[in-house]
């Protein structure tokens, strides 16, 4: 009878789950992006368990696209992205039906021509109006270089303009948008978070005494945070999560460093400080993000194992079981990724176009040592290494046993080609147009350099850069095998 009872219970649960899924409202995003070379877009959602889901949207030859998804379970801010094609700060929710249009000739043109209509467009009108104002003002103020008094004036001026737009957009509740007031609250947290972020970043970069930092931080605390900076409802805001939570911790770490430099070196300093600053879900989320950053930054199995050991106490102190489960899954996923690129493993396959239009595969380089550079046109350190890469490749000119390859990742094709016309590289240039190399070669940070041996296996997954003192020794050793 127990088995029968469990079966019936399971079927009842399944029926309820299916009914809920059936009656859930989808999010629809469609539209047309003119003058884009991209073939797809990525859109990011966060579920109720803080897991990020990525949906891909095909861009047709005429620039049109369409997505109907049930992955979104709560109102939130998201982005449509693929390389340099970026449509950021879009407000979405179950039941929204948004049509997005724009001209992607370049970033500025898309920024100026982006339009959002349909169900949910009233909320998105706020961002559109702010963007239009920014484009019209052409404000190129480098706020991070301002002195404190000038920075505070800039913050107040920006807040006044944003508030005027906010009051116009959120003056009247639209009939079709039941999430209007949710986003009204979220955007208010966003804007005050951004204002305080500038203050915190200024303190992080500036030279102040303990007392000065404490006073400036308290005097410029936005109204919304007067009741306390750690409140679970603030987690609705991406800007609060992205900027305030980590920088408020950084502020107190810097202050503690000034007060007692040895205190920050204590084994439990981070955990104790987090417990002092944050409570509830905010505390758990900060600890979760801190461990996730260790996972992300690990570029070898050894580093990952070290991160896992260093994170044990932090993970155990997280109260949310779902967050703990997510971290365990993240460790396993990263381990599986890194195992595929360990020395001696076959190099992950690719089939990429060159700037000349010819396709190249990793298998086609067998019999040669391959020195790979993962880079992007927007990456300053990558561009700075170009002269060193050129010098290194030319030093092996005439040696048919080695090939130098640069692969552009996370980049737009137009921007990539423009950078090539400026840099004039003489070695092979490939374009990772779908992001497959970036994923399979675990390119969490660029520039990244990899050596593949003559048998097509990974020789060095974290190779020295072209300007390093040891790179020629490493390459010569591999060539001698």
- What residues are annotated to the active site? 379, 382
Q: What is the DSSP secondary-structure string of 1-62?
A: -HHHHHHHHHHHHHHHHHHHHHHSPPEEEEEEEES---SEEEEEEE-TTS-EEEEEEEPPTT
Residue 15 buriedness (CB in 10 A; 0-12 / 13-18 / 19+): exposed
Cα separations in angstroms, 265 against 48, 166, 256, 276: 35, 44, 11, 17
d(CA 31, CA 359): 31
> Token pair 């500038």 is at which residue?
198
Burial class (CB in 10 A: 0-12, 13-18, 19+), 55: middle
Helix, strand or coil for residue 355?
A: coil
Polymer length in residues for the chain: 481
Residue pair 339/302 in contact (Cβ under 8 Å)? The answer is no
What is the b/e burial string over 441-461, where b = at least 16 CB atoms within 10 angstroms of the residue's CB?
Answer: bbbeebbbbbbbbbebebbbb
Run of H or E residues at 340? none
What is the sign, positive or negative, of the torsion defined by CA atoms of 4, 9, 14, 15? Answer: positive
CB proximity list for 473: less than 8 A, separation 6 or greater: none
Three-class SS of residue 361?
strand
Helix (H) or strand (E) holding 267: none
34, β-bridge pairs:
103
- Give me the long-range contacts of 128-133 (CB less than 8 A, separation at least 24): 129/165, 129/168, 129/169, 130/162, 130/165, 133/161, 133/165
The position carrying tokens 């915190």 is: 200
């Amino acid at each position: 009878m127990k088995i029968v009872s469990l079966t019936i219970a399971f079927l009842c649960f399944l029926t309820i789950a299916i009914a809920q899924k059936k009656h859930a409202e989808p999010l629809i995003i469609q539209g047309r992006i003119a003058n884009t070379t991209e073939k797809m877009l990525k859109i990011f959602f966060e579920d109720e368990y803080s897991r990020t889901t990525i949906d891909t949207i095909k861009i047709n030859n005429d620039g049109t696209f369409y997505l109907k998804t049930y992955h979104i379970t709560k109102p939130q801010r998201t982005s449509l992205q693929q390389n340099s094609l970026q449509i950021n700060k879009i407000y979405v929710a179950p039941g929204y039906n948004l049509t997005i249009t724009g001209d992607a000739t370049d970033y500025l043109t898309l920024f100026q021509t982006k339009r959002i209509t349909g169900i949910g467009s009233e909320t998105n009108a706020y961002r559109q109006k702010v963007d239009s104002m920014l484009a019209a003002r052409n404000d190129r103020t480098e706020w991070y270089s301002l002195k404190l008094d000038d920075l505070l004036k800039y913050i107040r001026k920006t807040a006044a303009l944003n508030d005027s737009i906010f009051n116009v957009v959120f003056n009247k509740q639209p009939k079709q948008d039941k999430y209007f007031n949710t986003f009204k609250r979220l955007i208010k947290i966003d804007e005050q978070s951004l204002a305080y972020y500038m203050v915190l970043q200024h303190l992080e970069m500036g030279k102040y005494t303990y007392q000065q930092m404490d006073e400036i931080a308290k005097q410029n605390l936005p109204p919304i945070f007067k009741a306390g900076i750690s409140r679970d409802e603030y987690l609705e805001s991406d800007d609060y999560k992205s900027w305030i939570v980590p920088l408020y911790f950084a502020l107190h770490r810097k202050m503690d460093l000034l007060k007692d430099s040895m205190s920050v070196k204590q084994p439990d300093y981070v955990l104790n400080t987090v417990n002092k600053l944050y409570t509830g879900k905010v505390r758990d989320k900060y600890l979760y993000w801190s461990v996730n950053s260790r996972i992300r930054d690990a570029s070898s199995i050894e580093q990952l194992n070290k991160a896992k050991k260093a994170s044990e106490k932090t993970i155990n102190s997280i109260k949310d079981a779902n967050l703990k489960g997510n971290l365990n899954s993240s460790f396993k996923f990263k381990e599986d990724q890194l195992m595929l690129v360990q020395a001696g493993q076959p190099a992950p396959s690719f089939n990429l176009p060159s700037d000349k239009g010819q396709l190249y595969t990793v298998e086609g380089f067998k019999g040669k040592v391959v020195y790979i550079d993962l880079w992007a046109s927007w990456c300053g350190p990558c561009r700075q290494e170009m002269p060193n890469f050129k010098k290194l490749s030319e030093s092996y000119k005439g040696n048919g046993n080695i090939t130098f390859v640069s692969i552009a990742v996370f980049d737009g094709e137009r921007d990539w080609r423009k950078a090539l016309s400026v840099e004039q590289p003489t070695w092979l240039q490939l374009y990772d147009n779908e992001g497959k190399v970036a994923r399979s070669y675990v390119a969490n940070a660029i520039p990244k350099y990899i050596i593949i041996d003559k048998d097509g296996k990974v020789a060095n997954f974290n190779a020295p850069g072209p300007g390093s003192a040891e790179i020629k020794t490493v390459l010569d050793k591999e060539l001698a095998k």
